[in-house]
Amino acid sequence: MTRTAISPPRRESMGGLAKGLAVIRAFTRDHAALNLSEIARAAAMPAATARRCLLTLEELGYVTRNGREFVLRPKVLQLGAAYLESMNIEHLTKTHLEELARNTADSAALCVLDGTEIVYVARASVRTLLRLEAHVGSRFPSHATSTGRVLLAGLSPESLEEYFRTAELAPLTDRTVTNPVKLRQLIEDCRRTGYSTIEDELAYGVVALAVPVLDQRGRVVAALNSSSHSRKISKARLVRERLAMLQQVSRQISTDLAGLPGLSLSARL
């Protein structure tokens, strides 16, 4: 499990709140049920501190116990729902993304950058062709995704250097680009061309094209993608047939997102 680092608290910050959130983040798809020592290790805190956090979260209805193990309760979804509702994601999904999915007979998604990962904040699909099926809230390493490279291309030089200092460029397939020099070149190519494509890097069979979504100041705040199966369409054909379509939808989404502060902050590392 990945250790969750907690930054030193500022004078007016609440250390207890930060620790409670770190405990929640200790749970993952691969570790849905954890005992106290596992949670303490994943959250990088003493077991006694983790226990107090768990007791509080249990009292509030965010976690429950199953023997010696703890699991999250559905109430945790309220935390993520507040973010999605503030961005009016339902409107985006039912209009632009669903139209894009229908026009391509594939999947369309809107993603933002969170640390070294991309997070799906909206998605629409007319079919399920891939073993790797994403959903709202899914997280993937930025370096292995088309949306991730688009978002990295929108970072400032300082933030991009921080990304390369902290990211673990692990291979997900034998085609995943993990060489920092080559990845930097791909990010630069994306910055120059305005789009990014991947094939068999996130998972075998996944081919995707992504373009940036800009705010009113021209900053990259999200990435829009169209994905398919490599047996159905090649990267070159994906660009040829869908790039203009994605760019048009991106402009429409940018207009709709004008004035939403939540996304304007999401481009920060």
Note whether residue 7 is domain-resident: no
Note whether 48 and 146 are same-domain residues: no
Q: Would you say residue 170 has pLDDT above 80?
A: yes
211-240 pLDDT, tens digit per residue, is 999 887 888 988 999 999 988 899 999 999
Note whether 134 and 169 are same-domain residues: yes
Contact between 209 and 197 (Cβ < 8 Å)? yes
Note whether residue 120 is domain-resident: yes
Contact between 154 and 219 (Cβ < 8 Å)? yes
Note whether 95 and 66 are same-domain residues: no
The residue ranking higher by pLDDT, 169 or 75, is 169
Residue 34 has what pLDDT?
93
Q: Would you say residue 37 has pLDDT above 80?
A: yes
pTM for this entry = 0.71
Residue 114 has what pLDDT?
86
Percent of the chain with pLDDT over 90: 54
Give me the mean pLDDT over the 163-167 stretch. Answer: 93
Note whether residue 20 is domain-resident: yes
Note whether residue 5 is domain-resident: no
Note whether 45 and 170 are same-domain residues: no
Q: State the CATH number of the domain containing residue 26.
A: 1.10.10.10
For the chain, give the mean pLDDT.
85
Note whether residue 81 is domain-resident: no
Note whether 132 and 47 are same-domain residues: no
Domain that holds residue 69: 15-76
Give the count of domains, the chain. Answer: 2
Note whether 123 and 173 are same-domain residues: yes
Note whether 60 and 163 are same-domain residues: no
Note whether residue 8 is domain-resident: no
Note whether residue 2 is domain-resident: no
Note whether residue 4 is domain-resident: no
Q: Among the three residues 76, 102, 121, which one is the final residue of a domain in this structure?
A: 76
Give me the mean pLDDT over the 109-116 stretch. Answer: 90
Q: Among the three residues 48, 76, 104, which one is the final residue of a domain in this structure?
A: 76
Read off the pLDDT band of 269 (50, 70, 90): very low
Note whether 125 and 35 are same-domain residues: no
Note whether 46 and 106 are same-domain residues: no
Q: Would you say residue 131 has pLDDT above 60?
A: no
48-107 pLDDT, tens digit per residue, is 999 999 999 999 988 998 889 999 887 876 776 666 666 666 666 678 898 999 999 999
Q: State the CATH number of the domain containing residue 189.
A: 3.30.450.40
Q: Among the three residues 57, 76, 95, which one is the final residue of a domain in this structure?
A: 76
Nearest to 195 by CA among 257, 240, 146: 146
Q: Concatenated DSSP letters for 115-164?
A: TTEEEEEEEEES----SS---TT-EEEGGGSHHHHHHHHTS-HHHHHHHH
Q: Beta-strand (E) ranges in the chain?
A: 33-35, 63-66, 69-72, 107-114, 117-125, 139-141, 196-199, 206-214, 220-229
Q: Is 131 left (phi over 0), alpha (psi -120 to 50) or beta?
A: alpha
Residue 1 has what pLDDT?
45
Greatest CA separation found in the chain?
Answer: 57
Give me the mean pLDDT over the 120-141 stretch. Answer: 76
Note whether 189 and 141 are same-domain residues: yes
Question: Which of 104-118, 162-176, 209-223 tops mean pLDDT?
Answer: 162-176
Give me the mean pLDDT over the 232-251 stretch. Answer: 94
